[in-house]
Amino acid sequence: MGGTLDYFSSLLGNGHNYKKKKKQFQTVELKVRMDYEGCELKVRNALTSTKGVQSVAVNRKQYKVTVRGFVEPHKVMKKVQSTGKKVEIWPYVLTTWLPTPMLPRPMTRRHSLSMSGMWRSLQPPAK
């Protein structure tokens, strides 16, 4: 019944049936060059005034800004760029997330025995 009413109301109405897309809660990490407290305050104030931002964390030593909220990463970047700062997405990934680049190879019998000093004692005696 509800589908029928929606159909007829869309025919009789102006035809616009807009649905707002809900933004997902995200954590956006940015690399922003900040040397002084004034730079940090400028960036922090710009981001806290942005719609959807719930928290802003700034680490000036690492040049890292973490923004949490219902925001889109490109809009956060544009907001920081409007302060005159150079911005890029945080390029560093935790090494615990990456697979180990070189796994140790299993040792052969010869390697394991020679490393333990037992290889010579296992060879047959010379006649």
In-domain check, residue 5: no
Question: CA 39 from chain center: how many Å?
Answer: 23
What is the longest distance spanned by two Cα atoms in the chain?
107
In-domain check, residue 121: no
In-domain check, residue 74: yes
In-domain check, residue 41: yes
Mean pLDDT within 105-116: 54
In-domain check, residue 65: yes
What pTM was estimated for this model as a whole?
Answer: 0.57
pLDDT digits (tens, 9 = 90+) for 38-68: 999 999 999 999 999 999 999 999 999 999 9
Structural domain tally of the chain?
Answer: 1
Rounded CA-CA distance 95/106 in Å is: 24
CATH number at residue 64: 3.30.70.100
In-domain check, residue 113: no
Full domain range(s) for residue 56: 32-90
